[in-house]
Structure 1
Amino acid sequence: MGDVPSLTSLCMKAISLAASGTDGGFDDLQDVFDLPSDLFDALLMHLSPLAMEKLQAALCCGDMDGSDTIGTTEENKRGRYDELSRTWEALFKVRWPENDQKMPRIRLIEVPAFVGSHEDKERIDWHQRYWESHLQECLDEASEKALLPSFDGCIKEIGISNALLDSIGCCKDKHNVCAKLSYHCQHFGIYARKTRCASFLTEKLEFQATCHRINVYVYKMSFSLQEQVKCSSPVSCKMSSLGISNLKPMSLRAVKLCDVGMGPRIANLVFDALHISSSLLTSLDISDDNLAGWLSKIPRESNTFTPSTLSSDSVGGLTSLSVLNLRGNNLGEDDAEDLKFALLRMPRLKQLDISDNPLTDAGLRSLIPYFLKSIDGPDPLSDIRLENCGLSSSAVVQFLDSIQSLRMPLHSLSLADNNLGSCVGVPLARFLEPSRLRRLNIEDVGLGPLGFQELERGLPDHVDLVWVNISKNRGRMKAAEFLAKLFPSAPELAAVNAGFNFMPADSLRVIGDALYRFPGKLQRVDLTGNANLRAPSPPSVLSDIRFRGKPVLILPSSPSTAAYDDDP
């Protein structure tokens, strides 16, 4: 006859089983922290990692809401954290003994308020290390399944093996939420150390059941997590292990490889694999990756840019692409010429963002032939973003004059954060009527009073704008006078951002009168940042102009006490 279990051991087993559930409740667990230290330490030895996670969450929850039911003194709290940390260390070393000597000292993600010493803040956070390593194993396992030619499902539905579930003490029932990759990403993704990885896991992995949501998301997560363990070449080693060529048969819809440090060589692999695939890719984001010179290595189908080279009859995985983001890749004027030819592979492109690249005027001029053909093509380009590209009015005027009379109208254009100066006012006004533009962003382009004056004088009697951003242009009273003319000329206008334009106090009367007489469909006119404007007291009739109960005119919350002029 076996040994009869003690009442204490039975209670500990019952607590462990209850804590291993996935319902997320913490009410009963909070009482555990009132146990004497010897019983508390003994209990920890019986808990699975999943149960430990719930127990630690209960402790943190109590700290955040000020509860005193989970420890009566700061010393007791500190003791509980130390006991938990030692248990996490033991769990880690049992599961990954080969990695024990590779753990660098790191700064804790969250340090309790009572932990104040430098040594405490720099010690290893075994709790975070455990779940980060577990998540990496889940992603590695899921990536192998996702890259099989037969895979045609959703990332969220990929099952986690019994071995991994058993390692954290999770029930192996196939109907258990723990059995899916989505559970592990949503619950343990916060333990990825770098902000961009944590943000990606918690915000970008939306797991929409009706969407095929790009298997390359697994790449993104894997890249970031590899960086955490100091892989000498995180992108190349992970890309190699996943097998980039296996992208070919997938039914991809969207690829996001943003800020992963992949470099030109890996970018070429991705681009080539997508180009020769049979996927139905609609969105590609390769931004903030410093890819200067990358495009020169992409083979051209032709050395001559002619109307016939841009055709919807092209074949390949990029022919269905409608959204391309190459923002912040350090692409210069030489890259622009290569980009023009690379874009030939994307005949259905609708949105192109090449902002935050030092293209300069020469680069924009190189792209004008592509813009002419793509905007006027059978599947027209409709949204162009050229923010902060080192452009001057010379190339921008040439660009506007070239595309203003095309058969198909441009829907959205952003020229923000380029030093265009006042001389762009007349060309902009000339561009607005025939282009039938709906959204215009000219924030911080240096219009000044003269530029607004020219823009007002040349503004057509009817424009199709529904949204416009003219903020940070130091327009003073001329900016207010432009708005007064814009309101009646744009009957579909819904939102205006005119903040930070150094408008004098009299501007409020000019704008208010025009808004009162021509409210149209306006929902919001933002004048914040104009320190001399503030709501009149007593409230004027402007306060009665509302959209769905909210005031249309948004004014600074309080007058500025600082000197207000336009001097440097």
Structure 2
Amino acid sequence: MSTVPCLFNLCVGKITTAIIHGHELTKDIIELPPDLFDNLVRNLSPLALQNIHEFRERSADHSCEFGCKNASFECRQNCGRPFYFRCEDFNTLWMMLFMTRWSNIKRIHPSGIDGNDKSKLNQSLDWQQLYWEKHLQDVLDEAAEKALLPSFDANIGDLTISDSIMDAIGHRDTCCCMKLSFHCNRFGKYMRYLRLQNVLCVAETCELLRGCKLQSLVLRRVISKTQVDGLLMLLKQHRHTLRSLEFIFCHIPSAIFEQFFGCMHIDGSETHGIHDLYIKSSRVFDNKSSLVPSGLLPFLVSGRDLHSLCICDSKLQAMHAKLIFDVLVESSSPLVTLEISENNLAGWLSRVVREPLDSSSFIEPKMPLKSLRELTLRGNNLKKEDAEDLCYILVHMPVLQCLDISDNAIMDGGIRSLIPYFIWALLKDYPLTDIKLNNCNLSCSGVANLLRSLLPIKTPLNTFSVAENELGSFIAAPLAKFLASPGVRKLNIEDIGLGILGFQQLEDQIPRETALQYINISKNRGGNKAACFISKALLYAPNITCIKAGGNIMPPESVEVIYRALKESRDHGTCDVLNNNGVDNRSACNHARWSLTLQHVNPDTSVIYTKKVNLRYWT
């Protein structure tokens, strides 16, 4: 038997329909008493709420009949007029609409806010802008799927939007509202971050997006001349506002890049406004030529505000990398992040002009990469000799904080070459804080030697990672000493072969107070000893918030061990042990994954802190 709708819901439905269709009663709706109006707007659909916004903006542009501009609050009080344009903050409503529609979203903004981490949601964000930006992105993605069909032969703007998307904004009609052109014209002004498929890189799309103020543009699979021409038009159209440009899976002749970068110059000058340039999995470098794509080097030179450069998996050769690096050295760009990864660059660093490595080199950097804070050279087939060459270059980056040379077979010899740099970098005014050496063919001896060299540091490292190196159980003792002096906040020792013996040693030698906030001990086959180490870490690391321990073959009884530690680790704390179905269960189970959560209430501030431990059980 169907439920009879209440009178309020029926009224809200009728009012929503009236607002969506631009009924003249919208003005009367805004004049409702505050309590009734507030209840109404909480139940409006996104499109109806948008219409309320736009009506208020249009009305605020007019003078009141007494001659006062903008119908301000003071004007309406003095003139005795109704309070038409109350300044209600709808931002929370837009945030709720956003999170309801895209509940599982991870990235909602170019800054990378995690939608699942409620503590990071910034209430000052313009959630109305984010809502319609994401909505229009979904509309464009759906339109791209239809345009890719062989049977498609029409205008891009005439593509119809699915009922599911129209229902999501609270409006379904057979009129022009279901066309792509309507959504671009209506909500294009909110677009800042755009991800565009190749099929939409045409002149018609440029016209549809004319009202946008793009700041970030991601281009995927641009391969044909028609798409290149459409892209050139789009770049020219938004060159004044565009700050980030990303190419993914693009196959563009190197000669055409000169046109791309040339059209980005502002008002005929030799400079551009791009802050971030990313070239990922795109074939833009010619393997048979020693020259880089035309226009790229002048583009880097003219980038007065270039902060980030990423060239990843793009067939970059050592000769190309040398030219790019030389240009960056000579340019005045305030480069902060440099990533050159997943390319074959063995021997590249030996070609770079370098100064002799002596004490003066550590004091007065002679290379102008003085602003570089993050350097990623992951997966470039670098060898031991390249690590030796890298040491000569790193000392000329005085504020470098993050170094990632993972997935390079530098072995213990390469680490020995880098240890003098690490010692200097950890004690300088702007110390190195993040070291990532995953899968570098390191042995227990090499890593133990590195850990001993890190003992004199004054403050904890932010990140230290030696995952996926076969270190064995004997690395446990050096690790325990490292954690005590003063250690690291985020430690990644996944898949290093600790085993039961290694976890036993870590449990016995772990210091009674560590700086750990995050630790990954996955894939070390520690069994119940892994659970015993987790219990010690929970007791001795007061700031720990996340432990990843998957793939350790822990028996079901280890749940009780960890639960007791969670209970003892905090005064005034409560602990919940949850399985996949969210059912409380502290005994043996047959479920594949568990989530342990500790909530600690600070008795002084009443602030609630949460601990989560994710475990995987093989029974």
Q: TM-score range by the shorter chain?
A: 0.5 to 0.7
Deviations 1:98-127, CA, capped at 9 Å, x for gaps = xxxxxxxxxxxx9xxxxxxxxxxxxxx9x9
Query: What displacement does 1:290 show?
Result: 1.6
Write out per-residue CA displacement over residues 256-279 of structure 1, whole angstroms, 9 at most, x where no aligned residue: 112222211111111111112222
CA contact (8 A) 1:467 1:496 kept: yes
**TM-superposition CA deviations, 1:242-297 (whole Å, max 9, x none):** 44486166232111112222211111111111112222111111111121110010
Deviation at 1:480, TM superposition (A): 1.0
Distance 2:346 2:576 in 1: 39
Cα distance, 1:413 vs. partner?
0.3
Matched, 1:54 2:157: yes
Q: Is this contact kept in 1: 2:574–2:599, CA < 8 A?
A: yes
For residue 467 of structure 1, what is the aligned residue in structure 2?
518
Q: TM-score, normalised by structure 2?
A: 0.55
Deviation digits for residues 521-562 of structure 1 (CA, Å, limit 9, x no counterpart): 999999999xxx975489xxx978447798835455xx76xx
2:465 paired residue number: 414
Q: Does 1:306 align with 2:358?
A: yes
What's the counterpart of residue 557 of structure 2?
Answer: 506
Q: Distance in 1 between matches of 2:469 and 2:577?
A: 22
Distance 2:428 2:453 in 1: 15
Note the C-alpha offset of 1:499: 1.4
Tell me, yes or no, if the aligned pair for 1:131 and 1:191 is still in contact at 8 Å.
Answer: no
State which of 382, 391, 396 in structure 2 corresponds to 1:345.
Answer: 396
Taking the aligned partners of 2:409 and 2:249, their CA distance within structure 1 comes to 36
| Residue 523 to residue 135, structure 1, CA distance change in 2 (3 Å) | farther
In structure 2, C-alpha distance between the alignment counterparts of 1:279 and 1:503, rounded to whole Å: 51
Tell me what 1:254 maps to: 308
Looking at structure 1, the residues matched to 466 and 138 of structure 2 have their Cα atoms a distance apart, in angstroms, of: 52
Question: What corresponds to 2:343 in structure 1?
Answer: 289
Q: Distance in 1 between matches of 2:574 and 2:348?
A: 43
1:122-271 superposed matches below 5 A = 129=224, 132-138=227-233, 157-158=238-239, 213-214=274-275, 216-217=277-278, 220=279, 224=282, 227=284, 239-244=293-298, 247=301, 250-271=304-325
Q: Normalized per residue, which structure has more strand? A: 2
Unmatched runs of 5 consecutive residues or more in structure 1? 1-21, 28-40, 71-87, 94-109, 111-124, 143-155, 160-179, 195-210
Question: What aligned pairs does 1:10-89 form with structure 2 within 5 A after superposition?
Answer: 52-55=155-158, 57-58=159-160, 61=162
Find the partner of 1:389 among 417, 433, 440.
440
* Structure 2 residue aligned with 1:15: none
1:553/1:389 Cα in 2 relative to 1: closer, same or farther (>3 Å)?
closer
Deviation at 1:435, TM superposition (A): 2.7
Preserved contact between residue 498 and residue 525 of structure 2 (Cα < 8 Å): yes
CA distance in 2, matches of 1:464, 1:25: 42
Q: 1:216 deviation in Å?
A: 3.9
- Alignment correspondent of 1:332: 383
Contact 2:243 2:276 in 1 (8 A): no
AA in 1 matched with 2:157: K
Distance 1:278 1:523, change over 3 A: farther
Output the aligned Cα RMSD.
4.7
Q: Per the alignment, in what secondary structure is the counterpart of residue 559 of structure 2?
A: helix
Name 2:567's counterpart in structure 1: 516
- Is 1:272 the counterpart of 2:367 in the alignment? no
Q: 1:413 to 1:181 in 2, by over 3 A?
A: closer
Is contact 1:494–1:522 with CA below 8 Å preserved after alignment? no
Q: Aligned in 2, Cα 1:417/1:406: closer, same or farther, shift over 3 Å?
A: same
Check the 8 A contact 2:401/2:431 in 1, yes or no.
yes
Counterpart of 2:304 in 1: which secondary structure? Answer: coil
Kindly indicate whether residue 603 of structure 2 is the aligned counterpart of residue 552 of structure 1.
Answer: no
Q: Which has the higher helix share?
A: 1
Kept in 2, the 8 Å contact 1:262–1:289? The answer is: yes
In 1, are the aligned partners of 2:547 and 2:613 still within 8 Å (CA)? Answer: no
How do residues 369-408 of structure 1 correspond to structure 2 at under 5 angstroms?
369-408=420-459
| Change beyond 3 A, Cα 1:551–1:535 | farther
For structure 2, list consecutive stretches of 5 or more residues without a partner in the other structure: 1-132, 140-150, 176-197, 204-219, 253-271, 590-594, 601-607
Q: Percent of aligned positions with the same letter in both sequences?
A: 35
Query: Which residue number corresponds to residue 207 of structure 1?
Result: none
1:54 counterpart SS class: helix
- The equivalent residue for 2:490 is 439
TM-score (normalised: structure 1): 0.60
Match of 2:477 in 1: 426
Aligned residues: 399
